Structure 1
Amino acid sequence: MTSSPPQRAPARIELTEVGLRDGLQNEARVLSTEHKLELLHGLHRAGLRRFELTSFVSPRAVPALADAAELVAAAKGLADARFSALVPNLRGAERALEVGIDRVVLFVSASETHNARNVNRSIDASLAGFADIVERLSGSGIEVQGAIATAFGCPFEGDLPAGRIGELARRLGELGIDDLTLGDTTGMATPAVVSRVVGEIAEQAPAARPILHFHNTRGLALANVMQGLSLGVTRYESAVGGLGGCPFAPGASGNLATEELIYLLEELGYDTGVSLESLIEVAGLAARRLERAPGSQLARAGTRLRLHRPDAVPTAKG
């Protein structure tokens, strides 16, 4: 009789909670800074430590994020927490520098049409602006991360030319940007597309460190995470309660719910350091503050081993 070989412990997964930025930017109800901080502290108590907190964009373009500076200033005392913010241009980077954010995220779309709708620029113009931002932030201690929107398909252009994502990753790497979010802006990713895109980046920009950001528009977010894990990707972004969507992309429904991502990872044997029950409570709180139903199946159903009293349900007759 032979014994089974010892199983290696899964790699540590790095999680970034994006609900306070990507989750809230497209909601009809605008939350106060106080209520955003309430959600932030709940997420922190649940065990999350990395947060995409806001975006330094024009308040006219995204009114829900008009309190960016106030929110960052109020959040900065949270122990062990790291905060990032999206910046669209040099002025946004200056504002982020003033408040002392930990990391800025520079975003460009892989689609010319979506980039024009999202930031009113061509891809080349966006990248030229990034060079100015990187130079301005040099020596400031602020980390710079890239993000490629519509990385798995565009609602205006469909599947993008082969190699486009890898080429963008290479050009960002030339600016010194190796941390790179791949955004599934309208949920067009499938496991096969994830393999192709991650493979493109590995070939054209081997120094890039991908971060996968899936939406659950067509129900494949967790399948795409499984594919990402099989490819060795260990960094993911998600939003509590499945909040979110892009106001500049038709059909962009909610993000992968953080609680469902944590549930999957824990069931696969990963130690996330996050209390799933506490996270589900925050998802419920977010739904109440936004006056809407919880956006994830897990928030509605509870965990797999959530038990119920037999006398709480009717007995079949007949």
Structure 2
Amino acid sequence: MLILPKAITVKEVGPRDGLQNEKTVISVEDKVAWINMLSETGLSYIEVTSFVNPKWIPALADCYEVATSIDRKPGVTYAALVPNQKGLEKALLADLDEISVFMSASEAHNLKNINKSIDDTFPVLEGVVKEALAEGKSVRGYLSTVFGCPYEGEVDVNQVLRVSEKLFEMGISELSLGDTIGVANPRQVQTLLEQFLRRFPQDKLALHFHDTRGLALANMYAALQMGMTVFDSSLGGLGGCPYAPGASGNVATDDVNYMVNQMGIETNIHNEKLLKAAQFIEQRLNKKLMSHSMLVHENNCSLDS
């Protein structure tokens, strides 16, 4: 009989990964209101913004103002993505709970995304991790293009493992493995996890799936079968990487919550509150969110009316 986890942790990345590629400018007030709504859903982790140069990600130019204006709910970890020392300084001033560093497993994507080679990125991130830990912050790592690269195609698993080893040696407490362009399939997910779980503790790993080809939930189920319990997602399926052509949104938090709850896996997330938060940001973006749960919810509402 298949044994699945009894509970999982869902890490909401919508306010950062979901909004970073949006052309519609969301006001600070609306971002803060949305994050506060997310805090009331039962989510235990919210990535609220990214302290990157606004020239590269204009949608998150208000990072400090947003991070310092939200209501901090006890029991919720508030995190932000940080690319370098300058970004870390602002993130520490904002007093966020967790710092996230990021890089790619493929050389070409790392050059596009960070403007540095992989080997040149290591010392930059090592400095960020060291200082963040010294300031009492936990540090999470994101590794992009784990399952495929828009510029190089397949990425050698040994290269993925090499970069992962380096990140753990720096002192990160968790590594999120990203399917940046949504090319992974369930068999590939399990094959890669078999190798990772031989080297790293299961509770130090997370999965970050994109739904470009409609396989994100299937890939998540494959990871659940391997005992994985931490997953990144974005409400309504918002998101996409500015430096990965063709990448569509993240797996939707509302779809993840529905699926695992129906399977008897606990998340402690209130589905109706999630959908209200999704409706809020949908209205502010002036576009329909494409998660299955939102489409069903809106169809049911129109039938009722």
1:81 aligns with 2:81: no
Distance in 2 between residues matched to 1:199 and 1:57, nearest whole Å: 34
Matched, 1:211 2:195: no
- Who is 1:316 aligned against? none
Match of 1:237 among 227, 232, 240: 232
Give, in whole Å, the separation in 2 of the partners of 1:21 and 1:42.
15
**What is the TM-score of this pair, normalised by structure 1?**
0.90
Specify the code of the residue in structure 1 equivalent to 2:276. E
Report 1:77-156 matches (<5 A).
Answer: 77-156=72-151
Can you give the 5+ residue segments of structure 1 that lack an aligned partner in the other structure?
A: 314-318
Task: Give the % identical residues.
Answer: 39
Larger Rg: 1
1:45 equivalent in structure 2: 40
SS in 2 for 1:177: coil
Contact kept, 8 Å, 2:5 with 2:224, in 1: the verdict is no
Aligned twin of 2:161 = 166
Q: How many residues align?
A: 305
CA distance in 1, matches of 2:37, 2:92: 26
CA contact (8 A) 1:169 1:204 kept: no
Aligned residue among 246, 250, 265 for 2:260: 265
Contact kept? 2:85, 2:128, Cα under 8 Å: yes
Match of 1:55 among 50, 54, 57: 50
For residue 213 of structure 1, give the secondary structure of its aligned residue in structure 2: strand
Q: 1:158 to 1:275 in 2, by over 3 A?
A: same
Report if aligned partners of 1:211, 1:237 keep a CA contact under 8 Å in 2.
Answer: yes
Give the TM-score, by structure 2 length.
0.94
d(CA) in 2 for partners of 1:213 and 1:128?
Answer: 24
- Tell whether the 8 Å contact from 2:141 to 2:176 is kept in structure 1 after alignment: yes
In structure 2, the residue matched to 1:252 is 247
Please give the alpha-carbon distance, in whole angstroms, between the structure 1 residues aligned to 2:191 and 2:102: 21
For residues 294 and 88 of structure 2, what CA distance do their matches in structure 1 show? 36
Counterparts of 1:263 and 1:251, CA distance in 2: 27
Q: 1:162 to 1:294 in 2, by over 3 A?
A: closer
Residues 26-77 of structure 1 deviation map (CA, whole Å, 9 limit, x = unaligned): 0110111111112112222222121011101001110111111111111253
